[in-house]
Amino acid sequence: MNYQIQSFAEYEEIYKYSIENPEAFWAEVAGHFQWQKPWDTVLNWNFKDPNIKWFEGGKLNITENCLDRHLESLGNKTALIWEPNDPNEPSRNLTYKQLHTEVCRFANVLKNNGAKKGDRICIYMPMVLELAIAVLACARIGAIHSVVFGGFSAQSISDRIQDAQCNMVITSDGAFRGAKQIPLKPIIDEALKTCPSVDKVIVLARTKSAVNMTADRDVWWHNEIAKVNSNCPAEITDAEDLLFILYTSGSTGKPKGVVHTCGGYMVYAGYTFSNVFQYQPDEIFFCTADIGWVTGHSYIIYGPLANGATSLMFEGVPNFPDAGRLWDIVGKHQVNILYTAPTAIRSLMQAGHHYVENKNLSSLTKLGSVGEPINEEAWHWYQDNIGHKDCPIADTWWQTETGGIMISPIAGITPTKPCYAMLPLPGIQPVLVDEKGEEILGNDVSGNLCIKFPWPGILRTTYGDHERCRTNYFAAYPNLYFTGDGCLRDADGHYRITGRVDDVLNVSGHRIGTAEVENAIDMHHGLVETAVVGYPHDIKGQGIYAYAICLEPPEDENKLRAEILAIVTKEIGAFAKPDKIQFVNGLPKTRSGKIMRRILRKIAEGEFENIGDVTTLLDPAVVEEIKAGRLDR
Ligand code: PRX
């Protein structure tokens, strides 16, 4: 069996084999990685508890797979290219040899500062090379990283640190993002007021802004790195030892710590990277995601490096200094594969054609899309203007919980169609179910998307609360992993993801729970109750619409709105701010007190005709009032 699929016929053959013999299939794939000791059992599983173990008994270190094993043949190949926020600052490259050295050195810094195998380490950093180095250094010593996206607030960081009981934080003085300079260390200082478990903070100097350093707790990266050498043998981990925790939003208020383990995650991230993007030895791969999200974990760091690829990381934002920046980067570094999000595509498309004209995009051979449904217009624009009409687009569907891409075209090998994630990758068994959990067979059908057999990258638990993992993903339908997404399978058997069917929003590709936003808004003393829903947004995919009941009629609605936005920014982060806040006297509730979000969604969308039956509501009159007060801008 080829590790990298070569043709559509081979895909069909391998897919069939992988479904009929999943353990043999994954054992063959895993054989392409470096194990210190082979596994005893390929797979042990049930979705009831759930209890999922891949490659039990196997021993490895993921950084040996991402670094050491390439040194002999690819030591001088560029592993990471770093493009700074400011286009006038020089970019930096690290070869595999250099990255190996830097990771080993920083791993020694971690050890010198008391970190050991199994510790949880929170990383809150800008998109600089040191972020990738920090992540890999944790993995090198068997510590568990919990990267928190740089847009989260002190409160959110504190919640995550406390949940995982981290004892160390790696951060930087600040971050450059577009025209802005964002202080990170002061946010960490604020967060740590409520995190007694943390006794060490390592601070990278990036912006050179003034920061407070707490004696006995805070140390500078550059001072610590000067004390160590680069000799750091990899800690050997069990296949099922934890590799990382990554927090993500669900339909309940508190974000959950999705847990991925060393062996299965490595195999899955590595295999999917090589196949979906059909990576060829000299290609340059550019994923525009932030390492704070799963896409950055799997397709900036682990997937590319496990395959000896060259991966480009970008510190800035797509519209700085102007909306041509991504295209400039493609030209400057001769990028071959570009993997980005529909939100970015839509906003750059809207910025105007002159930002694309005259850019050198001829190096591109393959494109990818991730994180949210891509609309047809954006898909065509991406293919015509960026992919010069001859690059295949891999619309990749997956989730934090799946560890890697699940349903997607294999670039240039399997067919594509606008808005469709198309076909499952080998080893992935999607099923559609109806409300009762009955499998919907045949084609030209739609339902809730579930997966009926484990794959190596599936989450193992939610940190510190296994029951939560069970109820969230494995309880809705017996013996199935429930994704939370709606999906249709067309007449040709191709899959199209239609969006979340639970109370989770996808705003600019950021996953946000409605309950999380509601809990934050409800902290305002002047409010009684809030309901948050999503509505279609031209650029962000979904916007956030909040309905709030005030204690007393507000004197100044705009002032109250500004206060609410400030609270959401403080509690979660600016990216979760509602786009619209409508003050109402009541919410549509059933007689048992449940808010009818379906009605609120319809009103937010301006779809007054299809609101459905309101007679079962406690107070049907509120619907008319809410309709009358709808904010359309
Ligand atoms: O609703 C789906 C949407 O993003 C959700 C997962 O979000 P997150 O865990 O943050 O991971 C994002 C990056 C993998 C899914 O439940 N989603 C992701 N990719 C697609 C998508 N929706 C449609 N098409 C996609 N290609």
3-state secondary structure of 109: helix
Tell me whether residue 45 is exposed, middle or buried, using C-beta atoms within 10 angstroms of its C-beta: 0 to 12, 13 to 18, 19 or more: middle
Provide the pLDDT for residue 252: 78
Angle at 339 between CA 338 and CA 342, to 5 degrees: 120
The reply to whether ligand 1 has any atom less than 6 angstroms from the CB of 290 is no
**Whether residue 237 has its Cβ less than 6 Å from ligand 1:** no
Centroid of ligand 1 to alpha carbon of 297 (angstroms): 15
Whole-angstrom distance, CA of residue 530 vs CA of residue 568: 13
Over pLDDT 90: what percentage of the chain?
A: 94
Looking at 496-631, list the stretches that DSSP marks H as alpha helix, in order from N- to C-terminal side: 514-521, 557-571, 597-605, 621-628
Query: What is the band of 134 on the pLDDT scale with cuts at 50, 70, 90?
Result: very high
pTM of the model: 0.97
Mean pLDDT of 156-185: 98
**Whether the CB of 506 sits within 6 Å of ligand 1:** yes
Q: Please state, in angstroms and as integers, the Cα–Cα distance from residue 211 to each residue in 171, 261, 337, following that order.
A: 12, 35, 39
Q: Return the sign of the alpha-carbon dihedral for residues 93, 99, 101, 107.
A: positive
Q: Measured from the CB, is residue 497 less than 6 Å from ligand 1?
A: yes
Nearest alpha carbon, ligand 1 atom 15:
399
Mean pLDDT, range 436-460, rounded to an integer = 97
Is the Cβ–Cβ distance between 516 and 252 less than 8 Å?
A: no
Ordered by where they begin, the domains of the chain are: 8-317+396-451 (3.40.50.12780), 504-628 (3.30.300.30)
Please state, in angstroms and rounded to a whole number, the distance separating the CA atoms of residues 350 and 122: 37
Task: Find out whether the beta carbon of 373 lies less than 6 Å from any atom of ligand 1.
Answer: yes
Please say whether the beta carbons of 269 and 298 come within 8 A: yes
**209-261 confidence digits (pLDDT tens):** 999 999 999 999 999 999 999 999 999 999 999 999 999 998 777 889 999 99
Query: Could you tell me if the CB of 511 is within 6 A of ligand 1?
Result: yes
What separation in Å is there between the alpha carbon of 555 and the centre of ligand 1? 41
- Distances from the Cα of 504 to the Cαs of 122, 335, 459, 518, 521, in angstroms? 25, 34, 18, 12, 16
287 compared with 2, residue with greater pLDDT:
287
Q: What is the pLDDT of residue 464?
A: 97
> Would the pLDDT of 319 be above 90?
yes
pLDDT for 254 equals: 84
For ligand 1, atom 10, name the residue with the nearest CA: 511
Find the 496 Cα to ligand 1 centroid distance in Å.
12
SS (H, E, C) 587-601: CCEECCCCECHHHHH
> Is a pLDDT exceeding 80 seen at residue 633?
no
Expressed in angstroms and rounded, the spacing between residue 292 Cα and the centre of ligand 1 is 15
256, 406, 506, best to mutate for ligand 1 pocket (most atoms within 8 Å of CB): 506
pLDDT value for 250: 84
Q: Check if 106 has its Cβ closer than 6 Å to any atom of ligand 1.
A: no
pLDDT one-digit tens code per residue, 321-379: 999 999 999 999 999 999 999 999 999 999 999 999 999 999 999 999 999 999 999 99
Tell which atom from ligand 1 comes closest to the C-alpha of 483: 16
- For the CA of 511, the nearest atom of ligand 1: 10
Q: What is the average per-residue pLDDT within 54-69?
A: 98
| Measured CA distances, 333 to 212, 279, 283, 308, 328 (Å) | 37, 16, 11, 18, 9
Q: What angle do CA 428, 431, 434 make, to 5 degrees?
A: 160
Burial class (CB in 10 A: 0-12, 13-18, 19+), 525: exposed
Q: What is the mean pLDDT of the chain?
A: 97
Q: Which residue type, as a one-letter code, is found at position 333? A: H
Q: Closest Cα partner for 173 from 138, 221, 134? A: 221
**What is the 493 CA–ligand 1 centroid distance (Å)?**
20
Cβ pair 161, 195 in contact under 8 A: yes
- Residues 378 and 464: their CA atoms lie apart, in Å, by 40
Q: Which residues neighbour 77 within 8 Å (Cβ) at sequence distance 6 or greater?
A: 70, 95, 96, 308, 310
Length of the chain: 633
CB 297 less than 6 A from any atom of ligand 1: no
Q: Which atom belonging to ligand 1 lies closest to the Cα atom of 369?
A: 26
| Cα(578)–Cα(623) distance, integer angstroms | 21
294 CB less than 6 Å from ligand 1? yes
CA dihedral sign of residues 61, 65, 69, 71: negative
What pLDDT does residue 511 have? Answer: 93
Give the sign of the dihedral formed by CA 574, CA 314, CA 301, CA 449: positive
Residue 394: which H helix or E strand, with range? strand 393-396
Q: What is the chain's percent helix, strand, coil content, to nearest 5?
A: 30, 25, 40
Q: What is the pLDDT of residue 405?
A: 99
Pocket flag, ligand 1, residue 409 (CB < 6 Å): no
- C-alpha 231: how far from chain center: 32
Centre of ligand 1 from the C-alpha of residue 399, in Å: 5
Under 8 Å CB-to-CB from 384, ≥6 apart: which residues?
none
Q: Of all protein residues, whose CA lies closest to atom 18 belonging to ligand 1?
A: 371
Q: Which two tokens stand for residue 194?
A: 């409520």
Predicted pLDDT of residue 610: 83
- What pLDDT shows up at residue 632? 84
23 alpha-carbon distance from chain centroid: 27
Q: Average pLDDT, stretch 610-628? A: 89
Task: Please choose from 256, 302, 340, 372 the residue to mutate so as to test ligand 1's pocket, defined by most ligand atoms within 8 A of CB.
Answer: 372
Give one DSSP letter per residue of 438-484, joined into a string. Answer: -B--SSSEEEEEEE-S--TTS--EETT-HHHHIIIIISSSTTSEEEE
Buried b (16+ CB within 10 A) or exposed e, 171-180: bbbbbbbeee
575: which residues sit within 8 A by CB, 6+ positions away?
151, 507, 508, 510, 512
Q: What pLDDT is stored for residue 251 in this prediction? A: 79
Percent of the chain scoring above 70 in pLDDT: 100
Q: Does residue 380 carry a pLDDT above 80?
A: yes
Q: In this predicted structure, what is the pLDDT of residue 587?
A: 95
Ligand 1: centre distance to CA 596 (Å): 25
The number of CA neighbours under 13 Å toward the Cβ of 316 is 23
Give the mean model confidence (pLDDT) for residues 407-413.
Answer: 98
Q: How far apart are CA 588 and CA 614, in angstroms?
A: 8
How far apart CA 456 and CA 271 sit, in angstroms, is 10
